Each structure stands twice: as structure tokens, then as C-alpha cells.
Structure 1
Amino acid sequence: MTDLFEEQCLMLKEPHFLILYWTAKAEEKEIKYNITNIFDDLKYIGATRTKQSAVSFVDSLHTLCFVGISGDGNRKNLYISKHGAKALEYLLSNTKYKPKKSLFLEGSK
């Protein structure tokens, strides 16, 4: 099973990593982080130009059980699962991905 987990993690792209990272940081700050915030942050760093892409990144993480989603519409809030936390830890130590700042989280100090 470990091999499958590692393969899943290595298939993730930088936006997936950043969504996991930002979601974990939002939980640390005890603030809600939703799909609209994700889209704005991904657009700011140049990772996407469409909300559809942001939703697609979130959906793939949800399918892998790396994030949970609660709420309706664009205000669906994300939370990181225990599997997502493991994936984030793996990505931080085994990939070239580096955290980038979230405009939403920076403004929510």
C-alpha cells in the first residue's frame, strides 16, 4: 500500500501541493479556506486562470481523500485529512515543491 501512496503523491502537481499546504496553514490559524480563496491564490501565483481548474485540483485531492469539503457552492470550505497531512509531509521532503504565500492567508493574520 505504501507504494500506491508514494505514486499518488508523486503524481501531484505544484497546485495540488499548494492547496494542501494552504489548507493546513488555514487550519493552524483556525480560519476557513474555500474554493474561491484557492482560485484567487492560484491565479495570483500564475498557476491557473480559471476557477474550473482550481475546482479540478480540489476535486482530485478530494477523490484521493487528501482533503475534505464542507459547505455549498463556491463557499465550500476545505480541511486537510490525515491522509492529506501525510501527503503534504511526503511532498515537502521528497519533491522540489516549495511553499508560496497565500494572499488570503497573509491578509488573515
Structure 2
Amino acid sequence: MPYDLHITRAGSQLRSAEFPIPQAQWEAALADWPRVDDLLTNFYWRDGQLWIYPEGEKSIAEIAAFAAERLGARLLGGDDEEYLPDGSVVWDDPAQRPDLPARPA
């Protein structure tokens, strides 16, 4: 899947800097995730969000579950569609999607 995805706490990936995930927090979460090397080929932190390039579409639901459980965040696509842990995709209006509160590190 040649498509970037975003782990963010914002309702839209374009507003991630307003609701940042601290770099130290996602680094610690990734270090404790045994499947990270199997699922992510390339990822980096920028503007308060984790940009990722998944290793195939099958991994998206697992990455969405990781984002929700470990970071209190959501997985969004480049068009602000939201990928859910059950494998479904929500194409609702990101302006209507609530931002998520920060979690303690």
C-alpha cells in the first residue's frame, strides 16, 4: 500500500500539531510493541503525529488498535478517513470528529 497514514489525537491529521503526541511517548510505545518490525516499514514523527507506511493492508486494523490502546489516538489516512481496529473505514467529516485528550506519558 503506497499510502501514508497518520497516528494522531486530532480530528484531522492537518490539526495534529494542536493535539500532539510527544515524541518520547510514541517512541516508548513502539519500543514495547513486538510487532512493529513486522507491520511498519517506515515511520517518523512530525507535527505532533506519527507518519507511517504500513507493510500491507492486512496490518492496518492492528495498527489502528495499537494507536487506540497504547497512545489514545486514531489512525487517519491522507484524505482524513479513519481506520478502525475492526478493519472498517469511516469517511465522516473530520470537522465533526472530536479531538482526543492527551494521555500521560
Q: Relative to total residues, which structure has the larger helix share, 1 or 2?
A: 1
TM-score normalised to structure 1 length: 0.29
Larger radius of gyration: 1
